[in-house]
Amino acid sequence: MNTPLTLDADQAHGRLGELTVIDVRTPGEYASGHLPGALNIPLDRLRRALPVLADSRADLLLVCRSGARSANGCALLAEHGVRAATLTGGTGAWAERRLELHRPAAGTRSGWAMERQVRLTAGTLVLAGLGLGLLHPAWRLLSAGVAGGLVFSALTDTCGMAALLGRLPHNRPRAADLDATLAALEERVA
């Protein structure tokens, strides 16, 4: 896999007006704070945006929380001949530099970050496995499976649990929201 182009927070901030920023996190994560002007197209929906992105003459910057998902998005786009950069360190690095993050209007519910959802789910499953293991020792395998999954996740810098959680309804954009985002993207990249 080719290494994607990268921009650090300062470089991206200096070019923000000329970049089309695509936030590939879940809608809940996006609502918790995103780069000014960023459009939300979750990573698992990026293929749907390919026709618009392939016609783009704009410089694309993909963003996620840490840079891992946006790097995967850049690789997917590169497979289809679309060049994009990723924000090194993601919105975490952006926030550390005390650069502006946009948040939804008051009253709009923002969701938990995916990392927090994974920690809650993994912890719950481990506790359930240990608790049920008191009834029957075979249930301890649930805890062992989660532990193994976490080790695999760390070694490969992937997360199957995050991929599964990303498919839950609260982490999915409504079809109308995604259609509106794609329409806005078409206007920006034309």
In order of start, what are the domains of the chain with their CATH numbers? 5-111+173-189 (3.40.250.10), 114-158 (no CATH)
Residue 73 tokens read as 């998005």
Cα–Cα–Cα angle for 170, 172, 176, nearest 5°? Answer: 115
Residue 138 tokens read as 């075979």
Phi, psi torsion values for 6, nearest 5 degrees:
-130, 150
Query: Measured between alpha carbons, how far is 85 from 144 in angstroms, rounded to an integer?
Result: 38
Amino acid at 145: G
- Can you list the alpha helix ranges (DSSP code H) found in the chain? 9-15, 27-31, 46-54, 68-79, 90-96, 114-133, 140-156, 160-165, 175-189
pLDDT in tens, 105-157: 644 455 677 788 889 999 999 999 999 999 999 999 999 999 999 998 888 87
* Percentage above 90 pLDDT, the chain: 49
pLDDT in tens, 65-110: 888 899 999 999 999 999 999 999 999 999 999 998 888 664 445 5
pLDDT in tens, 1-23: 455 689 999 999 999 988 999 99
Label residues 143-167 b or e (16+ Cβ within 10 Å = b). beebeebbeebeeeeebebbeebbe
Query: Measured between alpha carbons, how far is 129 from 8 in angstroms, rounded to an integer?
Result: 42
Phi, psi torsion values for 58, nearest 5 degrees:
-80, 155
Phi, psi torsion values for 2, nearest 5 degrees:
-70, 145
Cα–Cα–Cα angle for 40, 41, 45, nearest 5°? Answer: 160
Cα–Cα–Cα angle for 47, 50, 54, nearest 5°? Answer: 160
The residues annotated as belonging to the active site are 64
pLDDT of residue 44: 86
Q: What is the dihedral of CA 148, 43, 62, 27, to 10 degrees?
A: -100
- The predicted model scores a pTM of 0.71
Q: Are 73 and 83 in contact (CB under 8 A)?
A: no
